[in-house]
């Protein structure tokens, strides 16, 4: 007897005529079920059936995305809705086809209010709505026009065409570390002074420019509940704002209360170089990253995780440091923990375990947030690193102009991904204890495969010189 094979494929039911129903509001919640973001589908300006399908697809696709990604995608969807209104050819979902996407690409290239979008901006707009449209097509078979699909690479040559960068030399990394250490020392001295001022029970007395600055440090600390209050929206009149400007301004006084975004960059660059970590995983490092060394009491291990296999599997990364060095990574992390501690009450609970925290400069309008501080995102960190590069090179240029007999070299152009490969090159001719020379030893060191230390071998003549510095951290001197 011949048996017919069972068809176990999952089939979606055809879309009913009245599908889908309108969604009143798109809500995103955190781990505790609290609503963290709301979006009104009525603002999309699309036909009702398209708006409902897009809203569901947006909610399902970005349920695990960051708040910044959701906001960017929402505004991209609103741009697409504005195009549909101006186009006038799509009155229901069955009218939405591939030709509509082609007209949308042409529409993006047209000037708006006298300004023309660049190729990268056009590609970014299309790239933000593409996954939502694909999700809506997959979830609603038969709703859109037959054969409707969003083309891939519809705007060619839209990527950043950047020339390949050379790896940083040892001298270049030493120069970069020197300016980072100087900025960290200055920020740490300001923070310690600020903590002394805010601990006073009463307002400091008047008497000079320094006393006026301390008075505003004390007052702003209480006005912002531990952090710098936003320049906009705070209960400060015009004369008070002028006095704050005379005392140094909001940006300057903020460094006395907690870590600033610009100072965070210096910590991030130093830890990137000393740990030879990947830029992305290091940004996600947690506050409990310091672990005592199991064998040597003078050493401390720094631990972080590197996502593998699409982020579902995380591999532990670790490196140990001699904590007696003044600029060892564990000692810098301890300073970072102290300088970000005032920000913790103002960070959402799900992000309070992160190390790299900063105060949000914008919390209203398009970037409206319920919290005044949080974990730094990649785009903000990239912008802050660019400001750091320009600010330091401007200072070096001023020094060279004032001291032509003692010129200093400008900082090289760098990106976070360069530090790991540059440190691997610096490690090439060094000996790793227990692993020797060769590509395999360098690979094991770069991939943080051991919890031991990576010290240069010492001879008997050098024993009196004290503890040796780590190979990957030896660039600090």
pLDDT of residue 467: 38
Measured at the alpha carbon of residue 431, what is the angle toward residues 428 and 434, in degrees to the nearest 5?
Answer: 125
pLDDT of residue 209: 67
pLDDT tens for each residue of 375-384: 998 888 888 9
CA distance 60 to 64: 9
CA distance 282 to 32: 26
> How is residue 355 written in tokens?
């190390």
With DSSP H G I counted as helix, E B as strand and the rest as coil, what are the percentages for the chain, rounded to 5? 50, 10, 40
Contacts of residue 128, defined as CB under 8 A and 6 or more positions apart, other chains included, come to 72, 73, 76, 77
- Indicate the SS3 state at residue 372: coil
Phi and psi torsions of 144, nearest 5°: -95, 180
To the nearest 10 degrees (0 to 180), the angle between helices 67-87 and 48-61 is 160
Q: Is the pLDDT of residue 477 over 60?
A: no
Residue with tokens 């609603």: 140
pLDDT of residue 285: 93
pTM for this predicted structure: 0.66
pLDDT of residue 19: 44
Q: Contact 338/259 with Cβ under 8 angstroms?
A: no
pLDDT tens for each residue of 198-254: 888 887 766 666 788 888 888 888 888 888 887 665 677 788 888 888 888 888 888
pLDDT tens for each residue of 334-376: 999 999 999 999 998 888 999 999 998 765 555 566 788 999 9
pLDDT of residue 93: 92
pLDDT tens for each residue of 249-290: 888 888 999 999 999 999 999 999 998 888 888 999 999 999
pLDDT of residue 15: 46
| Res. 7 pLDDT band, cuts 50 70 90 | confident
| Res. 50 pLDDT band, cuts 50 70 90 | very high
CA distance 467 to 455: 9
> How is residue 5 written in tokens?
């094979």
Distance of CA 224 to the CA centre of its chain: 24
Q: What DSSP designation does 312 have?
A: T
């Amino acid at each position: 007897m011949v048996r017919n094979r069972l068809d176990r494929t999952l089939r979606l039911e055809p879309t009913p005529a009245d599908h889908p129903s309108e969604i009143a509001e798109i809500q995103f919640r955190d781990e505790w079920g609290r609503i963290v973001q709301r979006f009104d589908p009525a603002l999309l300006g699309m036909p009702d059936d398209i708006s409902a399908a897009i809203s569901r697809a947006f909610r399902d696709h970005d349920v695990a995305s960051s708040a910044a990604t959701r906001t960017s995608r929402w505004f991209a969807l609103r741009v697409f809705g504005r195009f549909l209104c101006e186009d006038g050819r799509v009155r229901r979902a069955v009218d939405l086809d591939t030709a509509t996407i082609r007209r949308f690409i042409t529409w993006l290239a047209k000037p708006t209010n006298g300004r023309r979008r660049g190729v990268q901006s056009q590609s970014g707009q299309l790239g933000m709505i593409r996954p939502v449209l694909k999700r809506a097509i997959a979830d609603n078979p038969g709703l859109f026009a037959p054969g409707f699909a969003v083309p891939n690479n519809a705007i060619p040559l839209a990527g950043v065409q950047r020339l390949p960068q050379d790896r940083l030399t040892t001298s270049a990394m030493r120069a970069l570390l020197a300016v980072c250490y100087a900025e960290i020392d200055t920020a740490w001295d300001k923070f310690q002074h600020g903590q002394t001022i805010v601990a006073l029970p009463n307002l400091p007395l008047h008497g000079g420019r320094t006393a006026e600055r301390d008075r505003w440090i004390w007052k702003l600390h209480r006005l912002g509940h531990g952090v710098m209050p936003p320049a906009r929206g705070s209960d400060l009149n015009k004369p008070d704002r002028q006095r704050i400007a005379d005392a140094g301004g909001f940006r300057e006084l903020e460094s006395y209360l907690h870590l600033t975004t610009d100072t965070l960059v210096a910590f991030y660059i130093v830890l990137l170089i000393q740990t030879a970590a990947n830029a992305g995983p290091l940004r996600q490092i947690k506050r409990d990253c310091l672990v005592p060394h199991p064998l040597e009491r003078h050493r401390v291990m720094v631990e972080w995780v590197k996502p593998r296999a699409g982020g579902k599997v995380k591999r532990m990364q670790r490196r140990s440091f001699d904590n007696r060095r003044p600029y060892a990574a564990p000692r810098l992390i301890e300073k970072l923990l102290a300088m970000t501690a005032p920000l913790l009450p103002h960070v959402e609970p799900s992000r309070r375990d992160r190390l790299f925290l900063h105060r949000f400069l914008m919390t209203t309008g398009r970037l409206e947030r319920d919290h005044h501080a949080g974990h730094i995102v990649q785009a903000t960190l990239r912008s802050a690193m660019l400001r750091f590069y320009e600010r330091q090179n401007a200072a070096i240029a001023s020094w060279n102009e004032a001291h032509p007999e003692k010129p200093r070299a400008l900082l090289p152009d760098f990106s976070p991904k360069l530090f790991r490969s540059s440190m691997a090159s610096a490690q090439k001719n060094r000996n790793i204890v227990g692993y020797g020379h060769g590509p395999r030893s360098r690979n094991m060191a770069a991939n943080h495969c051991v919890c031991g230390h990576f010290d240069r071998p010492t001879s008997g003549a050098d024993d009196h010189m004290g503890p040796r510095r780590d190979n990957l951290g030896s660039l600090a001197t």
